[in-house]
Structure 1
């Protein structure tokens, strides 16, 4: 018996044991065994339809939207869940730029790197039109209801991996996609008056302590 056969036998035994303990269906077992780590992206058309559906079902309420997105992703195949998440991270990485971060920093009265990532998750959740308008014209955020600064932006970026784990019992997410982590654009320094000079009107309107 060759190594591959031995390995397959061990995998089958382990999956059989997993099934007895946790009741995983045979179809899920087979899907897990056949999953290959991928960097493929879901089409933007399909991705944005899912996001829009979750937004509409939630009536625009962010916490409810995360619940609705979970339900929608649970209907997809495991591979579709992975490529959905890859597309999500591609869009989040695409919005990783200094200009947008600066505007969010001013409107929010400060914004750490983690905060900015959470904001980009929320930004994607608002839908295609909002995402691309904000991406290309960050100052358009000034026209949005300022209640957005009271929203807990965190969580949308974890939904796909949480759904995958709940369906498979596996924490290892089979994705090779590398999100863009290098921030683009011209850097600003929060310890100076860079942002005040870059966006004087936004600074005067939103930033806490701007009058000083």
Structure 2
């Protein structure tokens, strides 16, 4: 699945969901389940590529400001949320994490369910119920696309006292100033 197809699926599901993540998840599963199994696997691989691309110290800093803490699972789910917002928000955040201040509401941003849409769609499409190495997650992992790996976080690390200057809009919006 190419980048354009991936982002088109994300955008269509987000638009159809009117801000409801459960609806967005259901829409993605529904659309993916109509595709060929190889395309569903392609979606999973593309998702993992973007999760790895978003593994950046500035994205960690944004989550730290918004939530007050960062740990492995919430950081992964935050990056899922970021992808679920669509290509423009995702790309802008990678270029300047402070751009998130204009698209974020108070409260935790999490879209863990995005991690499972390809698997669910694959089950529906193939009729297989027991996950094995032919499932999207297995194929993606075999290709080295693991978001659980010890991949190198990009960018420069920061200390908490640098956050107000690093991401001033987020700092101001989330009341840490």
Q: CA RMSD in A?
A: 2.1
- How far apart are residue 128 of structure 1 and its match? 1.1
Q: Does residue 1:159 correspond to 2:117, yes or no?
A: yes
Shift of 1:73: 0.9
What SS does structure 2 have at the residue aligned with 1:193? helix
What does 1:1-212 correspond to in 2, within 5 Å? 42-147=1-106, 149-166=107-124, 167-172=127-132, 173=135, 174-175=138-139, 176-179=142-145, 181-189=151-159, 192-200=160-168, 202-207=170-175, 210=176
The whole-number CA distance in structure 1 between the counterparts of 2:96 and 2:40 is 30
Larger radius of gyration: 1
4+ residue runs of structure 1 moved beyond 6 angstroms? none
The separation in 2 between residues aligned to 1:83 and 1:201, in whole angstroms, is 36
CA contact (8 A) 1:99 1:138 kept: yes
Displacement, 1:64? 1.0
Please tell me whether the aligned partners of residues 81 and 109 of structure 2 are also in contact (alpha carbons under 8 angstroms).
Answer: no
Structure of higher RCO (CA pairs closer than 8 Å, 6+ residues apart): 2
Structure 1 CA distance, aligned partners of 2:91 and 2:34? 27
Q: Answer yes or no: is the 8 Å Cα contact 1:107–1:142 preserved in 2.
A: no
Question: What is the match of residue 37 of structure 1?
Answer: none
Cα distance in 2, alignment partners of residues 200 and 140 from structure 1: 10
Preserved CA contact (<8 Å) 1:70 1:159: yes
CA distance in 1, matches of 2:157, 2:90: 22
Q: Distance in 2 between matches of 1:165 and 1:205?
A: 42
TM-score normalised according to structure 1 size: 0.70
Deviations, residues 48-106 of structure 1 (Å, cap 9, x unaligned):
11111211221232121001111011101111111110001001110100011101210
Contact persistence 1:109–1:206 (CA under 8 A): no
Unaligned runs of 5+ in 1: 1-41
